[in-house]
Homo-oligomer: A and B are copies of this chain.
Amino acid sequence: MARRLGRPKGGQALLTRDRILTTALRIVDDEGVAALSMRRLATELGVDPMAIYHHLSGKHALLVGLTEIVFQQLRLPPVDDTPWQEQVRTFARAYRSLTQTHPNLVLYLVTDAEARKNERVSMANELLYAALARAGLPPEMIVGAADLLVDYLNGFALGESSASTARASPRAELDIRLEEHYRPEQFPVMHRVLSSLSERDRAADIEAGLDIIVAGIEALARREL
């Protein structure tokens, strides 16, 4: 196929920031961030590598752009009067579904310092703050609880993403933990706890963590009365 020269003629696909980001996200989702190079991306787009620099200032801007379009997917119901516990869980699940959809980008999603400037993220945070306020927490505890939840979700997302890329069968993890490392003589408690679990119990999920966080907030709110 012949390379286009100069500005594209009529029917051809224009190179736009959006088309660049969409293509880049597909590469990342399919093959990981390591596979995303400016040169590779240019090939995929059918342009010279330097053409990209006209729409994005560099590779860093490209990755920030990717987190941006992913965070755009974050949709939460408006603030209303459903029980605050349910709203906290809704927030968590919405955030988790984002990181679950783009496991290869998780490292950048949880690291991106600009994320809070994203409007969708701010709207989600507003919902979370409102829920925690209705739980009866004083201001400084609201911030503490929100930070706990977000940090937990980030940590969970990281674990989930590196687990899926590093391990062949996630269901075998329990056995690996037990047989290879946690010999009863050396680690009695871990061995006892883990052997008493069936695989079913061990379904790693955010719900177990959310149960504890919600119960903790309830308890601290009661003490404030």
Chain A residues in the interface with B (C-beta under 8 A): 79, 107, 110-111, 113, 116-117, 122-123, 125-126, 129-130, 133, 139-145, 147-148, 150-156, 158-159, 162-163, 166-167, 177, 180-182, 186-190, 192-194, 196-197, 201-202, 204, 208-209, 211-220
Contacts and interface: CB of A to CB of B under 8 A. Distances in A.
Contacts of A204: 147
A140 B202 CA distance: 7
Contacts of A79: 189
Given A122-B187, A208-B144, A208-B147, A116 B196 contact: no
Main secondary structure on A side of the interface with B = helix
A96 to B, nearest CB: 12
Contacts of A140: 197, 201-202, 208
B148 A187 contact: no
Copies of this chain, whole number: 2
Contacts of A145: 208, 212
A40 to B, nearest CB: 20
A115 B159 CA distance: 12
A138 B91 CA distance: 27
A220 B210 CA distance: 12
Contact of A141 (B111, B159, B208): B208
Given A122-B187, A154-B158, 20 more contacts: A110-B155, A113-B163, A116-B177, A116-B181, A122-B186, A125-B187, A126-B189, A140-B201, A140-B202, A143-B197, A148-B208, A151-B152, A151-B155, A152-B155, A153-B155, A155-B158, A211-B220, A214-B216, A215-B215, A215-B219
